[in-house]
Structure 1
Amino acid sequence: MSIRVLIADDHTVVRDGLNLMLTHLDGFEVVGEAADGDEAVKQAVRLRPDVVLMDVQMPGLDGVEATRQITELAPKVAVLMLSMYGDDATTIGSMRAGARGYLLKGAGRDEVAAALRAVVSGQAILGQGVADALLARIGSVTAVADYPFPELSDREREVLALLAAGHRTNEIATTLFVSPKTVSNQLTSVYAKLGVADRTEAILLAHEHGISRR
């Protein structure tokens, strides 16, 4: 079955371009368009699409508030933000409002299609550039040169820090905007690189080296 998409953007040329792009991709059906946030909410509630492709800045009700209302009124409808703005405040605000993904408008056709499929399936998606900026906002545990486990990747250090602070797998996934399965895979890699058997040993080792996320 095709993924039913509602396009919300205040620029006609953008809506037309997205509509044309999705029409030429297998597995997608554009079921409606909205030129502002209020109309996006109304259309989402009335049409119940699988996903709303949502611009952030629109007249009247902006995309973030529209996402919050859609999440409350039609919780089964996924929202994927597509914006020119990738600043931390907008990204975090969108995800807190209920968006399942965030892409910049420079994203290519394949990236947009993959992100739509992902958020409909329940995954959280951050596009190129957005993820790096957000991780910088979260902050790394310490400088690479001073880090006690240089064999870990930047993301694995984040995961270990959150683990050491007592967060469970689902909580880590929510914080980093990834799926619990992704976190589980990263934890398995961390255990192997650190030479520990399980979560408890990893936490103890992290604490011994002064890693405890505030």
Structure 2
Amino acid sequence: MRVLLVDDHNVVRAGLKALLESTGRIDVVGEASSGEAAVGRARTLEPDIVIMDLAMPGMGGVQATRRITQLGLETKVLVLTIHDEDEFLIPALNAGAAGFLNKSIADTDLMGAIEAVVRGHSYLPSRAAALLARRKGQGGPSRDAGHEVLSSRERTAITLYARGFSANEAGQEMLASPKTVEGYIARAKSKLGLENRRDIVRFALESGLLHAEGEQ
């Protein structure tokens, strides 16, 4: 897996690089110390994953995440930060981040997060998942209402899609053609007012169709 490290502290990048390359499964292909540099290097290097800090001088991690996800690459962004999920989780997900992890548990959870994100899944530790659940309980009627208008086949299709399945793979699971699956997804997006896979992943998490990594 090819990784771009983004953090404005040299010592943090050095530590992460040593940790990742010691696994023998990660190639750190580039580093950046600012959001602006991260966008440029993501465009040039097209890594599998960007490990993104949030608080940096100039362009912050949330804006850089949004810019990278708008490049049209296959690159996924995993946010790795010391900052509280309560303040930064939702903005990061809205910007297109595929995962969110606190640096305090990076030594034990980082490789699992990377592997999940590269497979096309979203990754949220239990505390972040609990925050989304609380937000759903406090302000999620519209999401719940959206959930109810979907047929069972549409719900299955977007759940598989949110988990990273292609239309062909989802069709094999559902015993349906890829074209039929694409139709289910298109109808669900239209009913829910969603535009892309990031929107579907966020909806699936908030509505309970998709559980965060580590949840049962």
- Contact 1:48–1:74 (CA under 8 A) maintained in structure 2: no
Moved over 6 A (4+): none
Q: Does 1:68 align with 2:66?
A: yes
Q: Does 1:57 align with 2:55?
A: yes
Q: Does 1:165 align with 2:148?
A: yes
- Alignment TM-score, normalising by the size of structure 1: 0.68
* Distance change in 2, residues 1:31/1:164 (3 Å): closer
Across the aligned residues of Structure 1 and Structure 2, the Cα RMSD in angstroms comes to: 2.8
The aligned counterpart of 1:107 is 105
After TM superposition, give the deviation of residue 94 of structure 1 in Å: 0.8
Q: How many residues align?
A: 164
After TM superposition, give the deviation of residue 86 of structure 1 in Å: 2.8
* Bigger share in helix: 2
After TM superposition, give the deviation of residue 39 of structure 1 in Å: 0.5
The aligned counterpart of 1:44 is 42
- Alignment TM-score, normalising by the size of structure 2: 0.67
- Which has the larger Rg? 1
- Contact 2:5–2:32 (CA under 8 A) maintained in structure 1: yes
Specify every segment of 5 or more residues in structure 1 that has no aligned partner in the other structure, as ranges: 142-157, 184-188, 190-214
Q: Which amino acid aligns with 2:116?
A: A
Q: Which has the higher contact order (CA 8 A, sep 6+)?
A: 2
Q: Distance in 1 between matches of 2:66 and 2:13?
A: 21
Q: Distance in 2 between matches of 1:121 and 1:98?
A: 16
* Distance change in 2, residues 1:14/1:73 (3 Å): same
Specify every segment of 5 or more residues in structure 2 that has no aligned partner in the other structure, as ranges: 159-191, 193-199
Q: Which amino acid aligns with 2:35?
A: G
After TM superposition, give the deviation of residue 109 of structure 1 in Å: 2.8
- Contact 1:67–1:94 (CA under 8 A) maintained in structure 2: yes
